[in-house]
A and B are shown apart, each in its own frame.
Chain A
Amino acid sequence: MAFSDPDDRASRWRRYRDLLRRHGEEDVSDELRFHLEMRVQEARQAGASEAEAHRETLRRFGGLPAVETELLEIARTRDRRRRRADWLGDLRRDVAFAARNLRRNPGFAATAITTLGLAIGANTAVFSVVNALLVRPLPYAAPQQLVTTWGWATGELLGLRAHMRSFSGIAAYATTSANLDDPRGVARVAGSEVSANFFSLLGSPPLLGRTLLPDEDRRGNTNVVVLSEGYWRTRLGGDPAVLGRRVLMDGVPHTVVGVMPASFAFPSSESEYWVPFTIDPSDIVHMWATGGHKLIARMRPSATLASTREELRRVAPSLRHDNPVWDPGPKYGLDADIHPLRDSIVGGTRPVLLLLFACTLLVLLIACVNVANLLLARANARERELAVRAALGGGRGRMIRQLLTESMVLSLAGAALGVPLAFAGLRAVLSVIPPGVPQVSSIHVSAPALGFAVVVSLLAGLIFGGLPAVRATRRGADNGTLRGARSGNSAGHQRLSSLLVVSEVALAVVLVIAAQLLVRSFRQLQSVGLGFSTEHVVSARITPVRRDAGDTIRVNGFYSEVLARTAALPGVISVGASNELPLETRGDGLIGDLAVRIQGQFEDISHGLPTTDGFQIVTPGYFPTMEIPISRGRLFTDQDARASEPVVVISESMAKHFWPGQNAIGKHIGYPWPSPWLTVVGVVPDVRIRGARDTSDQEVYVPFAQRASFFSQEMTLVVRTSRDPAAVGRELAVVVSSIDRTVPVSSVRTMEEMESRFVATPHFTMLLVGGFAVLALVLGAIGIYGVMSYVVSQRTHELSLRTALGATSGDLLRMVVRRAAGLAVAGAVVGVGAALLSVAPLRSMLYGVSATDPVTFATVPLFFILVAALASLVPAWRAARVDPVSALRES
């Protein structure tokens, strides 16, 4: 029997012992007094006078007060030690008793522990990501002082350096790439161009050698390079003698001056090298005509974000008159802005992370509510036991303490389960984390995250284990419960329990609605026609180095050889090339706003040219390979050669925009500088270059053979295959190097990979929120099941009376299910309301679905009511089978 456990015996014995034990101080003085009196008596018997006897006794004894003090100290220490031992003993007994009790109710224990474990695991995994990306300080000196700003020309950088008092330094950086020629061959490597003060501004020391010297961004000094630790180790074998060695970058020798540690990942962890960015004040075109640089600046400790922004908005417009090339107009500089470094690093991931974090908090909350409900039901079921113990003299404090211990044991067991789940969960999260999320390698299960979840669950156990414990033991004092009257208070209990279930359902409804919206949005994203086909297409970037201006013919020959040999590979259906592919997000090609002349409409270069969404250089094979059909006119052929009439193909939107109601074929457009007109020979459907959300659709296609000389030599090969496209992709490098060993092949990817990369963030969000929603749904169902089981067990008496009075088992079944559905309806109503109030942050993540999508808001609550009804079936069935005779006899 539970109430005859040994801990009560132990505590009774202790009270008894304490009663017998005289107080320590009295003990000490009694003992000493005895000694002194005996000595005095002895001296008197030997014939000494009273005074002599006393004097002699004290002399023999030595310092009486000192001895007394020392004895009392010993006694006190002893007491303290004993109390601690008692406490530990109680704790051990409580824990053992709790564990035994939980083992005796495996269903209850398993449900509560699993619930907590799942919530703690999920919460820790997501919070670890949030912590790594949003909370942990960036690995730079005084990172809160660092801000970024975009879109500046080199001349403007110098102007800002001269005038901005809020900044102690401004550095420029840009992502780039180069063909690096090292002992292991030629590789296309991503890197950065940075101003000379870049490293010192970030306060990041090199692993080896040095970073850039102050004048190394001046023309003539720029042939130095700082390598990343990763590149140095994998491509150069980690040789410390690398310093001073020359490497060829796009054919130009650069001296290696330093190696940055792997922890340095700016602008991104993909950067394998850093070369100086050329600043040449004498080159006016270079200084002012090329803009769009990214800047990173360090604010002085005295400056705030607001004061700096204000100064920038004052300084930037004043730079208008520094521009010697053109007047950028009166609005110039007004929209200049700065962003904290973390914002520009984490960027679009932040709302997703915050959403996920909110979701895990909801799940943790649901889990806590669930466990609270279970504890509540259990406390009620144990009322009799507690009343009996109280009647037998069980101390109320001890009983509360023991109930609390039980819920603490539950919480800790849940935490123990949660730790491995957190590791597994984080691995799962990282496996679907979208590419481009920074510092992924630095994300680990973090101790603060784990601590947070454990503390929350402990608090939940404390509160929800404590409340019923206090109530149940208080009620134990009146002995009505003892006399067999079942819990006079169970109605109040059921109300609290129902309230918990309603809130749990409401929280779960919010989560499931969010998840459903994201799922629908993702389906919309995927169902949108991109205007081209991604199946069975593989792409690879090919980067020949421009040797001199007249090199175009050699490069053309190289590419026609590559196209011909690739076409001859087994399983290749068609092959083409383009300077930029749809779904690529590099941004350094010419897909992107470019002005255009339109014959007869916009011919004046000096002002008001319309912009298109880009010029794309393609070979004739590009359209069939991407399965972009022709709408009108013709596609390119091999006859569109360098010397023949310059031609273009345009998109339908562009044709409609400039020649509404007319035939665009035969019309002429031109580059935004003096150059021969280009004849429109064909119109193709719009292609969503930047994925489903892309609304830019005015595209111009230029035949590769007729490309303007300023276009890069870099092209991306696209190959449509009948075989596995990835296998064909692996053969492309062999084809290219057999033609020219110095040309690297990089970014070999199937178009499907690129497409999934493109939707990786919404996919990630959908998967995670969806996962949490399923968790919430399951927890909600468990909650409903739990409370209905409890209600049925509490009302057995009433149910049997009803049966005796003629209710059929169908009536009882319906009654219980209706009750559960009622709770679900209440929860769903609250949940829908809460969801309507809280979906606003989702809006920016949704595509093609309204944040208040009526279908979602209608189906999710209905679904929940259905789940609630199902979850209550087992208890309902139990209710329907109540045997009136035995139930009545029992009561």
Chain B
Amino acid sequence: MPASRSVEFRQGAIELLILKTLSWGPQHGFSIARWIQQTTNDVLCLEEGSLYPTLHRMEDKGWVTATWGTSGNNRRAKFYELTSLGKAQLTSESRDWWKYADAIAKVLTTTARPVAS
């Protein structure tokens, strides 16, 4: 069940989440969506549909490759897998994300009042 308050999801970060999800190995679109949902306790209000265009564009960019395979319940599904380019992308994007989050956190946790000029 969705959380009572969900955070408006930042579009640019969806790629980062997908890259992270795939870092454990190939997965199909549905499992990526479910994994994100479960990991975040459904805090992120992610429209699952928006996942697919992002995945296909990442495929075009060469970060992931897609192959048709068989899912756990024996159905045909399209599996996505990180390429080495995708792995490098994950490393650099998560570093950026941490820098960003760290900077915001610093501001939010500061106790010193701004000096009037």
What is A's interface to B at a CB cutoff of 8 Å? 22, 27, 30-32, 34-35, 38-39, 42, 60-64, 66-67, 70-71, 74-75, 77-78
Report the bound CA distance from A34 to B30 in whole Å: 8
Q: Given B34, B48, B52, B60, which contacts A31 in the complex, CB threshold below 8 Å?
A: B52
Q: Given A35, A42, A74, A78, which contacts B29 in the complex, CB threshold below 8 Å?
A: A35
Closest 5 CB pairs of A and B: A62-B47, A62-B49, A67-B49, A61-B49, A38-B30
Task: Kindly name the residue among A31, A32, A63, A67 whose own CB sees the greatest number of chain B CB atoms within 10 A.
Answer: A31
For the complex formed, measure the closest distance between the CB of A276 and the CB atoms of chain B, giving whole angstroms. 75
Q: Return chain A residues, CB-CB under 8 Å to B57.
A: 74
Q: Return chain A residues, CB-CB under 8 Å to B29.
A: 31, 34-35
* B49 engages A30 (CB within 8 Å): no
Report the bound CA distance from A35 to B30 in whole Å: 5
* A61 engages B75 (CB within 8 Å): no
B78 at the interface (CB under 8 A from A): yes
Contact A62/B76 with A35-B33, A74-B60, A78-B60 known, Cβ cut-off 8 Å: no
Given A34-B78, A62-B47, 18 more contacts at CB 8 Å?
A22-B68, A31-B78, A34-B77, A38-B30, A39-B30, A61-B49, A62-B48, A62-B49, A62-B50, A63-B47, A67-B49, A67-B50, A67-B53, A70-B53, A74-B53, A74-B57, A75-B56, A78-B60
For the complex formed, measure the closest distance between the CB of B40 and the CB atoms of chain A, giving whole angstroms. 14
For the complex formed, measure the closest distance between the CB of B68 and the CB atoms of chain A, giving whole angstroms. 8
0 or 1 for each of B28-59: is its CB under 8 Å from A? (1 = yes): 11100110000000000001111011001100
* A61 engages B78 (CB within 8 Å): no
0 or 1 for each of B72-114: is its CB under 8 Å from A? (1 = yes): 0001111000000000000000000000000000000000000
Q: Return chain A residues, CB-CB under 8 Å to B68.
A: 22
Contact A64/B49 with A31-B29, A78-B60 known, Cβ cut-off 8 Å: yes
Report the bound CA distance from A62 to B47 in whole Å: 5
Report the bound CA distance from A78 to B48 in whole Å: 23
SS of A interface (majority): helix
For the complex formed, measure the closest distance between the CB of A287 and the CB atoms of chain B, giving whole angstroms. 86
Q: Return chain A residues, CB-CB under 8 Å to B78.
A: 27, 30-31, 34
* B71 engages A61 (CB within 8 Å): no
Report the bound CA distance from A320 to B105 in whole Å: 106
For the complex formed, measure the closest distance between the CB of A28 and the CB atoms of chain B, giving whole angstroms. 8
Q: Return chain B residues, CB-CB under 8 Å to A32.
A: 52
Report the bound CA distance from A335 to B107 in whole Å: 100
For the complex formed, measure the closest distance between the CB of A18 and the CB atoms of chain B, giving whole angstroms. 16
Task: Kindly name the residue among A34, A38, A39, A75 whose own CB sees the greatest number of chain B CB atoms within 10 A.
Answer: A38
Q: Given A42, A63, A71, which contacts B56 in the complex, CB threshold below 8 Å?
A: A71
For the complex formed, measure the closest distance between the CB of B79 and the CB atoms of chain A, giving whole angstroms. 10
* B76 engages A71 (CB within 8 Å): no
Q: Return chain A residues, CB-CB under 8 Å to B71.
A: 34
Report the bound CA distance from A42 to B1 in whole Å: 13
Report the bound CA distance from A60 to B30 in whole Å: 12
Q: Return chain B residues, CB-CB under 8 Å to A67.
A: 49-50, 52-53
Q: List 14 A-B contacts (CB under 8 A).
A: A22-B68, A31-B52, A34-B29, A35-B52, A38-B30, A39-B48, A61-B48, A62-B48, A62-B49, A66-B49, A67-B49, A71-B52, A77-B60, A78-B60
Report the bound CA distance from A219 to B112 in whole Å: 96
A-B pairs with beta carbons under 8 A, tally = 54
For the complex formed, measure the closest distance between the CB of B3 and the CB atoms of chain A, giving whole angstroms. 14
Report the bound CA distance from A66 to B77 in whole Å: 21
Q: Given B28, B47, B53, B76, which contacts A61 in the complex, CB threshold below 8 Å?
A: B47
For the complex formed, measure the closest distance between the CB of B1 and the CB atoms of chain A, giving whole angstroms. 10
Q: Return chain A residues, CB-CB under 8 Å to B28.
A: 34
For the complex formed, measure the closest distance between the CB of A34 and the CB atoms of chain B, giving whole angstroms. 5
Q: Return chain A residues, CB-CB under 8 Å to B60.
A: 74, 77-78
Report the bound CA distance from A64 to B53 in whole Å: 12
For the complex formed, measure the closest distance between the CB of B110 and the CB atoms of chain A, giving whole angstroms. 38
Report the bound CA distance from A32 to B29 in whole Å: 9
- What is the chain B residue whose CB lies nearest that of A74? B56
Q: Given B47, B56, B75, B77, which contacts A60 in the complex, CB threshold below 8 Å?
A: B47
For the complex formed, measure the closest distance between the CB of A203 and the CB atoms of chain B, giving whole angstroms. 58
For the complex formed, measure the closest distance between the CB of A475 and the CB atoms of chain B, giving whole angstroms. 44
For the complex formed, measure the closest distance between the CB of B58 and the CB atoms of chain A, giving whole angstroms. 11
- What is the chain B residue whose CB lies nearest that of A64? B49
For the complex formed, measure the closest distance between the CB of B65 and the CB atoms of chain A, giving whole angstroms. 13
- What is the chain B residue whose CB lies nearest that of A59? B47
Report the bound CA distance from A62 to B9 in whole Å: 13
For the complex formed, measure the closest distance between the CB of A84 and the CB atoms of chain B, giving whole angstroms. 14
Q: Return chain A residues, CB-CB under 8 Å to B49.
A: 61-64, 66-67
- What is the chain B residue whose CB lies nearest that of A60? B48
Report the bound CA distance from A681 to B29 in whole Å: 121
For the complex formed, measure the closest distance between the CB of A474 and the CB atoms of chain B, giving whole angstroms. 41
Report the bound CA distance from A78 to B60 in whole Å: 8
Q: Return chain A residues, CB-CB under 8 Å to B75.
A: 34
For the complex formed, measure the closest distance between the CB of A247 and the CB atoms of chain B, giving whole angstroms. 74
Q: Return chain A residues, CB-CB under 8 Å to B30.
A: 34-35, 38-39
Q: Return chain A residues, CB-CB under 8 Å to B34.
A: 42
- What is the chain B residue whose CB lies nearest that of A65? B49
Report the bound CA distance from A233 to B77 in whole Å: 83
For the complex formed, measure the closest distance between the CB of A73 and the CB atoms of chain B, giving whole angstroms. 9
Report the bound CA distance from A387 to B49 in whole Å: 54
Q: Return chain A residues, CB-CB under 8 Å to B77.
A: 31, 34
Report the bound CA distance from A64 to B49 in whole Å: 7
Report the bound CA distance from A42 to B30 in whole Å: 11
Q: Return chain B residues, CB-CB under 8 Å to A22.
A: 68
* B76 engages A34 (CB within 8 Å): yes
For the complex formed, measure the closest distance between the CB of A24 and the CB atoms of chain B, giving whole angstroms. 10
Report the bound CA distance from A32 to B53 in whole Å: 11
* B53 engages A71 (CB within 8 Å): yes
For the complex formed, measure the closest distance between the CB of A823 and the CB atoms of chain B, giving whole angstroms. 61
Report the bound CA distance from A61 to B78 in whole Å: 17
- What is the chain B residue whose CB lies nearest that of A58? B49
For the complex formed, measure the closest distance between the CB of A60 and the CB atoms of chain B, giving whole angstroms. 5
Report the bound CA distance from A820 to B34 in whole Å: 85
- What is the chain B residue whose CB lies nearest that of A67? B49
Q: Return chain A residues, CB-CB under 8 Å to B76.
A: 30, 34
Q: Return chain B residues, CB-CB under 8 Å to A70.
A: 53
Q: Return chain A residues, CB-CB under 8 Å to B56.
A: 71, 74-75
Report the bound CA distance from A64 to B50 in whole Å: 9
- What is the chain B residue whose CB lies nearest that of A69? B53
Report the bound CA distance from A30 to B66 in whole Å: 14
- What is the chain B residue whose CB lies nearest that of A38? B30
Q: Return chain A residues, CB-CB under 8 Å to B53.
A: 67, 70-71, 74
- What is the chain B residue whose CB lies nearest that of A34? B77
Q: Return chain B residues, CB-CB under 8 Å to A61.
A: 47-49
Report the bound CA distance from A31 to B52 in whole Å: 9
Q: Return chain B residues, CB-CB under 8 Å to A27.
A: 78
- What is the chain B residue whose CB lies nearest that of A42? B34
Report the bound CA distance from A408 to B9 in whole Å: 56
- What is the chain B residue whose CB lies nearest that of A35? B30
Q: Return chain B residues, CB-CB under 8 Å to A71.
A: 52-53, 56
Report the bound CA distance from A67 to B29 in whole Å: 14
Report the bound CA distance from A43 to B33 in whole Å: 15
